[in-house]
């Protein structure tokens, strides 16, 4: 089958297996060029391991630290000539490449929110690894079936208190448009906190702790975002921000609980990046194309794998105490929030229009990064070759 990108709005409905494998390889190659991270984790669990920050975390743990990894994700295999999701191909490529180097790699394609998978993973950890010294929580999901109540909670991206209007990027037309979002209802806030807050992370940690599967001195890390003033009403001050506040409170609660093991639950605030989840957030892609241009000009731009290498090498496994901000959070978004970067981004945000967008924002780079998420646009791959879309996890 010849596979081409089919883009609908902020999603690409096809993915290329060879291209996805190449994107995993590119990340591995980068990690291998960096100084080894030692001592790093030896046995890691990554929840949300198939794309974005979770995939890169798994690549760094395995190829930068030689850790055994278990990955959980929720992806769709191919069926009836329809390609699988990119995360499915990424995970298969990861496993294959890790095992080829003698690294333990096991994956579960399942809903992380349900109780059954927590039990199955606990069993695999007990049987194969004994205890975990790193647990990464990197799930980004639009919905959650609550394991105790059965309610189907949906995460929405809305401001709280009042509606919000600002500039946004229309993907289909490459135009700068005005977008208005109505204020969220209390129920919407509640459901977003259920999906993207810390409850599920806590359930995972409790399940692992009950089975005595967390090693002495282990680290658990969940990812969060703060962002600039222009996205504040819809991000940090909005429904998703409430969920992130909850995630951050959960870190403090879990650290308290894990003291007996000298283990810690941490939050890492990561940089805004093109991932499947972030592309869906109104205003963020426009902010991102401007940010990317400014950071590139200043020589500060980083992608997912570069962020994760820095998180591991200069924060989590640095020789000194882990540096945190006044709220106790790791800041790997430090370059994004630098005052000179933000001042320039805000100056450009004020003047950006459809006409000047190609000059003042990195629209081309954004498109390229977006396509790469689905395995398209790698010069190493011949996209005219017939490929088998039907790959299986082993
Ligand atoms: P992503 O969409 O690339 O990855 C999400 C992962 O979660 C995938 O592996 C997916 O399979 C998995 N997943 C989704 N639903 C699941 C379910 N029900 N069960 C099991 N796995 C499930 O997302 P991302 O952008 O890498 O985000 C990961 C985390 O990083 C999120 O907490 C996000 O808020 C945070 N973050 C993202 C950015 C950004 O700009 N992308 C910035 C800072 C922080």
pLDDT at 275 > cutoff 90: no
Candidate from 17-21, 104-108, 230-234 with smallest mean pLDDT: 230-234
CA of 277 to the centre of ligand 1 (A): 6
Q: How far is CA 282 from the centre of its chain?
A: 17
Report the distance separating Cα 98 and Cα 260, nearest Å.
33
Q: Which of 54, 92, 111, 140 to mutate to test the pocket of ligand 1 (most atoms within 8 A of CB)?
A: 140
Report yes or no: 6 and 12 within 8 Å, Cβ to Cβ. Answer: yes
> In degrees rounded to 5, what are phi and psi of residue 133?
-110, 0
Q: Which atom of ligand 1 is nearest to the CA of 111?
A: 19
Report yes or no: 24 and 90 within 8 Å, Cβ to Cβ. Answer: yes
Q: Which atom of ligand 1 is nearest to the CA of 112?
A: 19
Q: Which atom of ligand 1 is nearest to the CA of 277?
A: 2
Closest CA to 10 of 169, 166, 156, 120: 169
Q: Which of 27, 91, 228, 278 to mutate to test the pocket of ligand 1 (most atoms within 8 A of CB)?
A: 278
pLDDT at 193: 98
* Model pLDDT for residues 258-274, shown as the tens digit of each residue: 999 999 999 999 999 88
Q: Which atom of ligand 1 is nearest to the CA of 54?
A: 26
- pTM for this model (two decimals): 0.97
The average pLDDT across 249-254 equals 98
Closest CA to 155 of 47, 92, 243: 243
pLDDT at 25 > cutoff 90: yes
pLDDT at 142 > cutoff 80: yes
Please list every protein residue whose CB sits less than 6 Å from any atom of ligand 1: 48-54, 72-75, 87, 111-113, 138-141, 223-225, 270, 272-273, 275-278
Burial class (CB in 10 A: 0-12, 13-18, 19+), 355: exposed
Going by alpha carbons, the residue nearest to atom 42 of ligand 1 is 272
CA of 276 to the centre of ligand 1 (A): 8
Report the distance separating Cα 264 and Cα 217, nearest Å.
7
Q: Which atom of ligand 1 is nearest to the CA of 50?
A: 9
Going by alpha carbons, the residue nearest to atom 40 of ligand 1 is 272
The average confidence (pLDDT) of the chain is 95
CA of 356 to the centre of ligand 1 (A): 32
Report the distance separating Cα 155 and Cα 196, nearest Å.
7
β pairing state of 68-73 and 43-47: parallel
Report the distance separating Cα 297 and Cα 312, nearest Å.
26
CA of 380 to the centre of ligand 1 (A): 27
pLDDT higher at 249 or 235: 249
Residues with a catalytic annotation lie at: 235
CA of 386 to the centre of ligand 1 (A): 31
């Amino acid at each position: 089958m010849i596979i081409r990108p089919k883009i609908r709005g902020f999603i690409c409905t096809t993915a290329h297996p060879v291209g996805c494998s190449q994107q995993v390889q590119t990340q591995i190659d980068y990690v291998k060029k960096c100084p080894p991270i030692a001592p790093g984790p030896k046995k890691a669990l990554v929840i949300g391991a198939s794309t974005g920050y979770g995939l890169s975390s798994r690549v760094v743990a395995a190829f930068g630290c030689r850790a055994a990894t278990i990955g959980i994700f929720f992806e769709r295999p191919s069926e009836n000539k329809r390609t699988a999701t990119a995360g499915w191909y990424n995970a298969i490529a990861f496993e294959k490449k890790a095992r080829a180097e003698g690294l333990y790699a096991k994956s579960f394609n399942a809903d992380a929110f349900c109780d059954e998978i927590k039990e199955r993973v606990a069993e695999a950890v007990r049987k194969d690894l004994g205890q975990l010294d790193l647990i990464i929580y990197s799930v980004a999901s639009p919905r959650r079936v609550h394991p105790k109540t059965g309610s189907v909670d949906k995460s929405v991206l809305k401001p709280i208190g009042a509606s919000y209007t600002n500039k946004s990027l229309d993907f289909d037309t490459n135009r700068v448009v005005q977008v208005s979002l109505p204020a969220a209802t209390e129920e919407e806030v509640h459901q977003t906190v259920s999906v993207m807050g810390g409850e599920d992370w806590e359930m995972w940690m409790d399940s692992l702790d009950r089975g005595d599967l967390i090693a002495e001195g282990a680290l658990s890390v969940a990812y969060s975002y703060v962002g600039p003033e222009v996205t504040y009403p819809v991000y940090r001050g909005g429904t998703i921000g409430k969920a992130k506040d909850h995630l951050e409170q959960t870190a403090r609660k879990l650290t308290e609980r894990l003291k007996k093991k000298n283990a810690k639950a941490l939050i890492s605030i990561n940089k805004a990046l093109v991932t499947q989840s972030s592309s869906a957030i109104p205003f963020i892609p426009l902010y991102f194309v401007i940010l990317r241009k400014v950071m590139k000009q200043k020589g500060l731009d980083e992608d997912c794998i570069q962020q994760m290498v820095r998180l591991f090498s200069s924060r989590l496994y640095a020789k000194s105490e882990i540096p945190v901000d006044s709220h106790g959070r790791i800041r790997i978004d430090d370059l994004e929030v630098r005052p000179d970067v933000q001042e320039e981004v805000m100056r450009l945000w004020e003047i950006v229009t459809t006409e000047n967008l190609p000059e003042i924002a990195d629209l081309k780079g954004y498109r390229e990064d977006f396509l790469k998420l689905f395995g398209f646009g790698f010069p190493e791959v011949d996209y005219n070759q017939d490929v088998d879309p039907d790959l299986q996890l082993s």
